[in-house]
Amino acid sequence: MVTTYCSVEDVSDYLRVPITATTSPNKTQVEKIINRKESEFERRTGHAWRIRQSKDEIYDLPLLYVYGWGTPINLKHRRILNIDASQGDKVEMWNGMGGQYEDITAMNESHWKIQGELGKLFFRGFLFSTLREYRVRITYRYGGEDFSGDLTVPDDIKDVVIKMVCIELMNTMFRMDEVPSGGMIDISSVKKDWKDDIETCIENRKEVFVIP
């Protein structure tokens, strides 16, 4: 099972306990928790530090024009990778006569252009179109700290996902000896500190969305 933000070994090192195929919890169980916490972190921050695909986002075509670019649409994410049909990406325009979305991905520069860093899509040749509502549908990949999917995971995010996984492990330990604490640690206090760190990181990393 693939993990991105942290590894089973990271969790094991942080808790100072072995996690293998035969321990309790075992490696597969911890990988499942990591995957869930990666998705939770992305959902709460609105961004991803791995390649993700957003499917079938639908937008109105605004009555705006940016000189040299075209009619702008602000996508739900930034750091957009180049549109690649072989990866399932597509740009579609609603055809009122045909009653369906037409795939115009291959038209590329002649009809549309993407500005990946900011997460903007520009259309040329549609400024005077009368059909504007729900006109555009796009599927695209995004993710990373830098333009076009630099997948380096920042240390603060790695640290927080480890703590999210550790809290889940502690909360699901029905046998309290599975993660030994030596009897000298206040588990509730430790989890509270971890939760505070998690919330601080999420607040710092949360995307800002402008509602038009």
One digit per residue, the tens of pLDDT, for the chain of length 212 reads: 899 999 999 999 999 999 999 998 999 999 999 999 999 999 999 999 999 999 999 999 999 999 989 999 999 998 899 999 999 999 999 998 888 999 999 998 889 999 988 899 999 988 888 899 999 999 999 987 654 445 689 999 999 999 999 999 988 875 545 555 555 567 888 899 999 999 999 999 998 776 65
Burial track 93-116 (b if 16+ CB lie within 10 A, e otherwise): bbeeeeeebeebbeeeeebbebbb
**Cα–Cα dist 14/158, whole Å:** 12
pTM of the model: 0.82
- CA 70 to chain centroid: 27
Spell out the domains of the chain, with CATH numbers in brackets: 8-48+153-205 (no CATH), 52-142 (2.60.40)
